[in-house]
Amino acid sequence: MNRARGESRAVGATVAELLASADLPPREAQILFSRAAGLSRIELITRDQTVPAEPVIAAFRELAARRRSGEPIAYLVGYREFYGHRFGVSPAVLIPRPETEHLVEEALKVLAPLVTPSVLDLGTGSGAIALALALARPDARVTAAERSTAALAVARANGVTLKGSVRWVESDWYEALSGARYDLIVSNPPYVALDDRHLQEGDLRFEPREALTDGSDGHGALGRIIRGAPAHLEPGGWLLLEHGFDQARAVRQALDEAGFDGVTTWKDLAGLDRVSGGFCGPCPGGL
């Protein structure tokens, strides 16, 4: 059957017809229908010739309309996969990005030779980095700091669901952590410049502004984290930061100025500079 768009409003439209009428990429329509119907995507595919119940149709139409107006899929369904785990997300947190998995990978390499290492994740948001590390390294003592109370609630809930052992701390960067030192500090801070046009595009329009930009040139939070790190690292401790594709040089320079050794940049799968870091061996101001 080949129905024109809108015709599926007729009573008795099948799932397949309803999806085709949504004016969305097929995969997105499937994800949203699965959410509306409470079905897995496999269940959906096996039922696509059935006629859904009226409340399911209404719920799907609402989600589809919100998606057409730009709301991110992750907020509409309430989760996003990151490093093999499903993280609950809400508009209070940045949606975890695949490129941030590189930060987790490099962090795990730093942790590999250490027993019961201490780790700090600054600006944890949904808790994606902290929990990915805690789940991969159950012996690690992971602390995650976040300034936003609403974001921290999302992170805590993810900690419970994923059964990851993380100490959650409400803190503006290092503020509530005075005196504490770690073997590794990681962060995916807000590094987008305020005038970057990407903030006006796609998912970013719906994400928390303070998770994306420092409100200035994009180097403010990165600089603050770097300058504060020596006083919070154990001797030999590492700092690893995610940053924008064009920020590696400035980040490496800031790391050098703060006295870091072994300063290195790693690329993401797209070949873009994405993560930089170094270790305090020791840094001035460190131990």
Residues in the site for ligand GLN, rule: CB under 6 A? 97, 188-192, 198, 204, 212
Angle made by CA atoms 268, 269, 270, in degrees to the nearest 5: 90
Question: What is the nearest approach in angstroms of ligand GLN to the Cβ of residue 204?
Answer: 6
Angle made by CA atoms 100, 154, 148, in degrees to the nearest 5: 85
Q: Which is nearer to ligand GLN, 196 or 261 (CB)?
A: 196
Q: Which is nearer to ligand GLN, 116 or 200 (CB)?
A: 200
Question: What is the nearest approach in angstroms of ligand GLN to the Cβ of residue 115?
Answer: 31
Q: Which is nearer to ligand GLN, 204 or 280 (CB)?
A: 204
Nearest CA among 72, 98, 78, 100 for reference residue 90: 78
Question: What is the nearest approach in angstroms of ligand GLN to the Cβ of residue 196?
Answer: 8
Angle made by CA atoms 199, 243, 166, in degrees to the nearest 5: 100
Residue with tokens 């009428």: 21
- d(C-alpha 5, C-alpha 22), whole Å: 8
Give me the amino acid identity at 116: T
Q: Which is nearer to ligand GLN, 102 or 181 (CB)?
A: 102
Question: What is the nearest approach in angstroms of ligand GLN to the Cβ of residue 240?
Answer: 13
Question: What is the nearest approach in angstroms of ligand GLN to the Cβ of residue 203?
Answer: 8
Q: Which is nearer to ligand GLN, 191 or 279 (CB)?
A: 191
Q: Which is nearer to ligand GLN, 97 or 147 (CB)?
A: 97
Question: What is the nearest approach in angstroms of ligand GLN to the Cβ of residue 212?
Answer: 5
Q: Which is nearer to ligand GLN, 188 or 276 (CB)?
A: 188
Question: What is the nearest approach in angstroms of ligand GLN to the Cβ of residue 123?
Answer: 8
Give the CA-trace dihedral at 52, 54, 60, 63, to 10 degrees: -170
Angle made by CA atoms 79, 185, 75, in degrees to the nearest 5: 15
Q: Is the torsion defined by CA of 191, 175, 283, 112 positive or negative? A: negative
Instruction: Determine how many CB atoms are found less than 10 A away from the CB of residue 108.
Output: 16
Give me the amino acid identity at 173: W
- The answer to whether residues 246 and 269 touch, using CB atoms and an 8 Å cutoff, is no
Instruction: Determine how many CB atoms are found less than 10 A away from the CB of residue 96.
Output: 24
